[in-house]
Structure 1
Amino acid sequence: MMILNNLCNEAEIENVTVNPEVTVEKANQFITEVKSFIPKLIDFGIKAVIALIIFIVGRFVIKFILKCIGRFFEKSKLDTGVRNFLNSFIKILLYIILLIIMLDTVGVKTTSFVAVLGTASLAIGLSLQGSLANFAGGVLILILKPFMIGDYIVVNSAGVEGTVNKIDIFYTTIISPDNKRIVIPNGNLSNSSIINCTALGKRRVDIKIGISYDSDIEKAKKIALDTVNQIDLVIEKENSFTFVESLDESQITIGIWAYCNSADYLKTKYLINEKVRMAYKKNDIEIPYNQLVVHMN
């Protein structure tokens, strides 16, 4: 049996014939492909070296540009958060430009790369629309500085007011007079009218007090003015002023203007109300109030 198998194998080997022409043709084809590939390889190598040189020079140029921008930011007295953000943004942008130049040098078509990058940026922008609005609002607030930490602001659109405690890139935190922590998105703040009550360092306190029609108006005005000017928290006393605000149905409304430091506003306002009321009571100046009269037949 083994002898039979050996005979069969020898027969198969004898049937396998080698065609020299086919072998030579394939060898020539391989050599031709190698020869045609070598110039492309050399060309790519040259471009790669040029791209590497561009990268090295580009890094040096980027560092120089960022150094110049950093000096400019220091002189501009921008907020630290804004400086860091703008510096990082410009750095990323410059490196993206450098990458595109390198790819174009090597021979990669950058038009499709830029298109993909633009599409990705658009998709990210749409998905983070609210956050980007808050981010842009935070940058505007930090650059334009409509208010600063420690300022007392009134946000009409949100119906809140308080002292600015913290300004972040996305949110601003204020502390209300009753010690509540309020966090407001910067996008809303940048699109709202904001009253900065402490920007000028002083505030005018406006008080309205009603007196009866039987009271002496001049006497009431003088008592109110003298009382206000005796309060230590009142500044620029020469600018304090009392006047007849209006003639109402059941009272004459006396207006009082007085100035104080912004930090003392509420304390001064409440103190004026208390002191003027006590002075009117002492000098028999009647402050009318609504009364219910019931007639019994």
Structure 2
Amino acid sequence: MPEFSTDEASKYLDLYIIPFAINLLIAIVIFVVGRIVVNIIVKIVGKLLAKSSYDEMLVDFIMGIVRSILLLFVIIAALDQLGVDTTSLVAILGAAGLAIGLSLQGSLQNFAAGVMLLVFKPFKSGDFVDAGGVSGTVKGISIFTTTMNTPDNKEIIVPNGLIYSGAITNYSAKETRRVDMVFGIGYGDDLKKAKTILEEMVAAEERVLKDPAPTVAVSELGDSSVNFVVRPWVKSADYWGVMFDFTEAVKLRFDQEGISIPFPQMDVHVHKEGE
């Protein structure tokens, strides 16, 4: 084992040990102070986002991203103080990030769509929507997927990319909706009487709004019927109830008043040769 003289040991101490110890101490200070500064910045960002209307999940996610990026800079600065080649480290991290991004291209698309959904909020939890080829009540929106419950109580998890890339119909976005119904009567029935009956029934329905005014009008002279459109406005929550109840009530009332509701039919005339 080689022996060092006092001068050599002192020289080794001055050239290597003391500078490294100083750099290590400075690197520790950079890391500790950097973490404190990062926490302060993250708290400020969190307070600013909390004052906005952004979803809580999005706020937490943004804060996590900001914290991770700032801590990465702090770590690189501390390693640079120790003499580590941070240029190569950054290049390696960039290459790794590119490789991961390419392998998770679909997931990143869902992630980006999730961020857009949480920022712009085309719908919220509890809304009934038609999106991504699925109709249902939104139960939750995460960064990558949206969970819906269908009317027959099936839970469907839809990728956010599929939702944001297509049309989104939000049936709960407005407080009121128009119920579009069509009722046909026979050509031999009293048209004015049928119209009066429909107008009376709409006026008697308590769930129908007075403003906007409902519409009852002849819309078509069909192949086997004269068709009325009945378009009352209701609160969104009453939409299906009014449609189902009113359709049943019209059938019963027309039967009572002797007004027929024709169904498609075909008359076949047979002609014998020689007649």
> What TM-score does the superposition give when structure 2 sets the normalisation length?
0.88
8 Å CA contact 1:227–1:279 kept in 2: the answer is no
Note the 1:1-297 alignment, pairs <5 A.
35=11, 38-155=14-131, 157-158=132-133, 160-236=134-210, 239-293=213-267
How far did 1:59 drift?
A: 1.6
Aligned mates of 1:82, 1:287 — CA distance in 2: 54
8 Å CA contact 1:233–1:268 kept in 2: the answer is yes
Aligned mates of 2:122, 2:74 — CA distance in 1: 37
Greater CA deviation, 214-223 or 59-68?
214-223
Greater CA deviation, 240-249 or 190-199?
240-249
Alpha-carbon deviations, 1:23-51, whole Å to 9, x = none? Answer: xxx98999769736732433333222222
Aligned mates of 1:238, 1:108 — CA distance in 2: 72
Aligned mates of 1:141, 1:119 — CA distance in 2: 29
The 1:28–1:204 alpha-carbon spacing in structure 2 relative to 1, beyond 3 Å, is closer
Which structure is higher in helix share? 1
AA aligned opposite 1:226: E
AA aligned opposite 2:224: S
AA aligned opposite 1:114: V
Aligned mates of 2:32, 2:156 — CA distance in 1: 49
How far did 1:174 drift?
A: 1.5
How far did 1:151 drift?
A: 0.7
> What TM-score does the superposition give when structure 1 sets the normalisation length?
0.82
Aligned mates of 2:12, 2:148 — CA distance in 1: 71
How far did 1:199 drift?
A: 0.8
Cα root mean square deviation, aligned: 2.5
* Residue ranges of structure 1 left out of the alignment (5+ in a row): 1-25
AA aligned opposite 2:262: P
Greater CA deviation, 271-280 or 198-207?
271-280
* Residue ranges of structure 2 left out of the alignment (5+ in a row): none
AA aligned opposite 1:179: N
8 Å CA contact 1:229–1:237 kept in 2: the answer is no
For the pair shown, the structure with the greater C-alpha radius of gyration is: 1
The 1:32–1:281 alpha-carbon spacing in structure 2 relative to 1, beyond 3 Å, is same
Aligned mates of 2:245, 2:85 — CA distance in 1: 75
The sequence identity of aligned pairs, in percent, is 39
Q: How many residues align?
A: 270
How far did 1:170 drift?
A: 2.0
Alpha-carbon deviations, 1:213-244, whole Å to 9, x = none? Answer: 33343332221121122223323366111112
